[in-house]
């Protein structure tokens, strides 16, 4: 299945990546017909499956809610952080509300050393469950953040349900600190935080901007482009930046032009990273990802020679081998160019795609929504965290990334967001997305099998949680 994407950093415009979205541009009528037929077959297969499926909603009464035995009780503790000792001392101490509480927490810690939950930094924050929490979620309103690209403003794009905004990730063994924009900005004072990677990292970057921007007045923040691939959001009073760099494969490729990358014939230079990486040098927080762009073919095209020389000849090598070469190039660059005393490095594990397009996934019937097509019409997460889960994420790529990241000179925080995101079949932009900055037409909307975007995520939504997890890690750094 061919896929392609498009990107424009500042307007944040993108056609639906991942599945189908970009097809309209490329196909000959034959391709259209093939895709239509494929979509039709998938739909028919799903219909066949549905008769054996229990109605999803018949069990919806068992959704976790704020009840006496549920974690919502911890809400009060989150609002007044139970353990603020995970918040490292501010570099430039400022009188904030948290300060006195922080001292109290430290004091208490000396007294009761037993029976306390593990500190966030010792806790596996990626292991837990989704809890319905309409008191504290969403963390911002969609219409309060004008930095969101049309692609992710699902309500404005016509989505009727909004429950997807109201889930909070509750780690099993601890609680996440409340996201405090001002504390984060304090931590970022005179520093650069940079996301580098594909449109999922841009999704997370947009989320972060929305989480933080309301802490400063509009005239004390600004956005600018540096070259075509780097977007920089600047917080004047903090001399802090939150940046995004477009590099879908991290290394050099023929899809590195953010506004012209809709090429089906994707070619990489697995050993060439400096062209991109020079822009990452000196950043104090680096957050990387690369996954979705690898999915459209089993083999990866590797350039002979270099793009600069106009070369277009390539070899096809097995995807896993290419992924490993690329990540080794990335790891070597980090190890040689990053001072771990100055920079914290994060790697996001794969963001799952809920497209159920591969035969195995269509048949797996992981979720019982007979009227759903791909992620379309999914309005609740998968709630059973003990049931086996297979939405088709490529685990062998996960293992490659995790194993490389764990064996570097510079310690890398491997952000294990895959499983917790796999539960969120409800959180994708689906039909309430945009192509080239434009909402889908009625005709496109009538064809979810082709046009539902089950790769990107609505905002507010799941990427806010990724940022809360990142926040928890950043705030516990000394």
Ligand X SMILES: *[C@@H]1O[C@H](CO)[C@@H](O)[C@H](O)[C@H]1NC(C)=O
Q: What positions carry a catalytic annotation?
A: 199, 453, 456
Q: Are 236 and 220 in contact (CB under 8 A)?
A: yes
394 near ligand X, rule: CB under 6 A: yes
Q: What phi, psi does 401 have (nearest 5°)?
A: -65, -45
Q: How far is the CB of 166 from ligand X (least distance, A)?
A: 8
Q: Are 431 and 458 in contact (CB under 8 A)?
A: no
16 vs 192, beta carbon nearer ligand X: 192
Q: How far is the CB of 275 from ligand X (least distance, A)?
A: 15
Q: What phi, psi does 353 have (nearest 5°)?
A: -110, 130
61 near ligand X, rule: CB under 6 A: no
Chosen residue from 217, 260, 278, 306 binding ligand X by CB under 6 A: 260
Chosen residue from 387, 407, 443, 478 binding ligand X by CB under 6 A: 387
Q: What phi, psi does 192 have (nearest 5°)?
A: -120, 130
Alpha helices by DSSP H, listed for 131-188, are 181-187
77 vs 359, beta carbon nearer ligand X: 359
Q: Torsion-angle region of residue 220: left (phi > 0), alpha (psi -120 to 50) or beta?
A: alpha
Residue linked to tokens 């780690």: 171
Rounded to whole angstroms, how far apart are CA atoms 178 and 83? 10
Q: Are 345 and 338 in contact (CB under 8 A)?
A: yes
310 near ligand X, rule: CB under 6 A: no
Residues in 219-248 at the binding interface with ligand X, rule: CB under 6 A: 239, 241
Residues in 84-143 at the binding interface with ligand X, rule: CB under 6 A: 126-127, 134
Q: How far is the CB of 352 from ligand X (least distance, A)?
A: 12
351 vs 416, beta carbon nearer ligand X: 416
Rounded to whole angstroms, how far apart are CA atoms 303 and 172? 45
Residues in 1-40 at the binding interface with ligand X, rule: CB under 6 A: none
Q: How far is the CB of 134 from ligand X (least distance, A)?
A: 4
91 vs 108, beta carbon nearer ligand X: 91
306 near ligand X, rule: CB under 6 A: no
What residues does 428 pair with on adjacent strands?
457
Which x/- pattern, by CB under 6 A, does the window 336-375 give for ligand X? ---x-x----------------------------------
Q: How far is the CB of 103 from ligand X (least distance, A)?
A: 26
Chosen residue from 351, 416, 433, 467 binding ligand X by CB under 6 A: 416
3-state DSSP assignment of residue 185: helix
84 vs 421, beta carbon nearer ligand X: 421
Q: How far is CA 87 from CA 74, 258, 305, 476, in A?
A: 18, 36, 48, 5
420 near ligand X, rule: CB under 6 A: yes
Query: Given the rule CB under 6 A, which of 23-31, 40-48, 188-196, 370-378 is the region that contacts ligand X?
Result: 188-196
Give the strand order in the sheet containing 299-303. Answer: 252-253, 267-269, 299-303, 314-318
* 329 token code pair: 């190039």
397 vs 449, beta carbon nearer ligand X: 397
217 near ligand X, rule: CB under 6 A: no
396 near ligand X, rule: CB under 6 A: yes
Q: How far is the CB of 475 from ligand X (least distance, A)?
A: 19
302 vs 431, beta carbon nearer ligand X: 302
Q: How far is the CB of 109 from ligand X (least distance, A)?
A: 25
Q: How far is the CB of 100 from ligand X (least distance, A)?
A: 28
298 near ligand X, rule: CB under 6 A: yes
Rounded to whole angstroms, how far apart are CA atoms 287 and 412? 10
Q: Are 362 and 46 in contact (CB under 8 A)?
A: yes
Taken in order 198, 428, 241, 187, the sign of the CA dihedral is: negative
Alpha helices by DSSP H, listed for 221-318, are 274-277
Total residues in contact with ligand X, by rule CB under 6 A: 28
Rounded to whole angstroms, how far apart are CA atoms 60 and 368? 11
What residues does 243 pair with on adjacent strands?
194, 232
Q: How far is the CB of 126 from ligand X (least distance, A)?
A: 4
35 vs 240, beta carbon nearer ligand X: 240
DSSP string over 11-32: TTB----SSSTTHHHH--HHHH
192 near ligand X, rule: CB under 6 A: yes
* 39 token code pair: 């979509």
65 near ligand X, rule: CB under 6 A: yes
Chosen residue from 24, 32, 147, 320 binding ligand X by CB under 6 A: 320
**Do strands 267-269 and 299-303 pair parallel, antiparallel, or not at all (unpaired)?**
parallel
265 near ligand X, rule: CB under 6 A: no
Helix or strand (DSSP H, E) at 317: strand 314-318
Q: Write out the residues near ligand X by the rule CB under 6 A.
A: 62, 65, 126-127, 134, 190-192, 239, 241, 254, 260, 298, 318-320, 339, 341, 384, 386-387, 394, 396-397, 402, 416, 419-420
């Amino acid at each position: 299945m061919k896929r392609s994407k498009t990107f424009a950093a500042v307007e944040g415009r993108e056609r639906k990546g991942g599945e189908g979205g970009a097809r309209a541009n490329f196909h000959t009528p034959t391709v259209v017909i093939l895709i239509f037929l494929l979509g039709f077959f998938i739909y028919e297969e799903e219909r066949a499956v549905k008769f054996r499926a229990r109605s999803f909603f018949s069990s919806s009464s068992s959704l976790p809610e704020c009840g006496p035995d549920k974690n919502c009780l911890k809400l009060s503790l989150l609002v007044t952080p139970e353990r603020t000792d995970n918040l490292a001392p501010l570099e430039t101490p400022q009188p904030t509300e948290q300060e006195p509480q922080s001292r109290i927490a430290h004091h208490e810690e000396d007294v009761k050393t037993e029976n306390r939950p593990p500190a966030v930094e010792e806790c596996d924050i990626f292991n837990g469950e989704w809890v319905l929490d309409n008191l504290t979620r969403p963390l911002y309103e969609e219409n309060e953040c004008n930095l969101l690209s049309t692609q992710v403003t699902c309500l404005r794009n016509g989505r009727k349900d909004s429950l997807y905004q109201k889930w909070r990730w509750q780690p099993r063994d601890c609680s996440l600190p409340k996201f405090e924009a001002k504390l984060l900005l304090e931590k970022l004072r005179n520093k650069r935080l940079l996301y580098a990677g594909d449109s999922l990292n841009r999704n997370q970057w947009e989320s972060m901007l929305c989480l933080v921007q309301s802490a400063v007045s509009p005239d004390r923040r600004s956005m600018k482009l540096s070259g075509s691939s780097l977007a920089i959001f600047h917080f004047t009073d903090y001399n802090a930046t939150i940046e995004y760099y477009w590099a879908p494969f991290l290394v050099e490729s023929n899809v590195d032009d953010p506004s012209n990358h809709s090429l089906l014939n994707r070619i990489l230079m697995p050993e060439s990273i400096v062209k991109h990486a020079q822009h990452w040098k000196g950043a104090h927080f680096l957050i990387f990802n690369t996954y979705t762009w690898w999915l459209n073919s089993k083999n990866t095209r590797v350039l002979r020679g270099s793009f600069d020389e106009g070369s277009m000849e390539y070899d096809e090598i097995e995807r896993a081998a290419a992924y490993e070469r690329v990540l080794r190039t990335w790891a070597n660059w980090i190890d040689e160019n990053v001072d771990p005393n100055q920079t914290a490095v994060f790697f996001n594990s794969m963001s799952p795609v809920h497209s159920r397009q591969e035969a195995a996934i269509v048949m797996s019937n992981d979720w019982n929504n007979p009227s759903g097509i791909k992620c379309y019409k999914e309005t609740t997460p998968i709630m059973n965290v003990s049931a086996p889960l297979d939405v088709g994420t490529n685990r062998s790529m996960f293992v490659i990334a995790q194993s490389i990241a764990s064996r570097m000179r510079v310690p890398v925080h491997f952000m294990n967001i895959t499983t917790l995101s796999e539960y969120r079949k409800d959180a994708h932009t689906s039909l309430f997305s945009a192509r080239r900055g434009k909402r889908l037409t009625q005709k496109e909307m009538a064809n979810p099998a082709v046009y539902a975007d089950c790769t990107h995520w609505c905002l507010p939504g799941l990427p806010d949680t990724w940022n809360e997890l990142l926040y928890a890690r950043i705030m516990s750094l000394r």
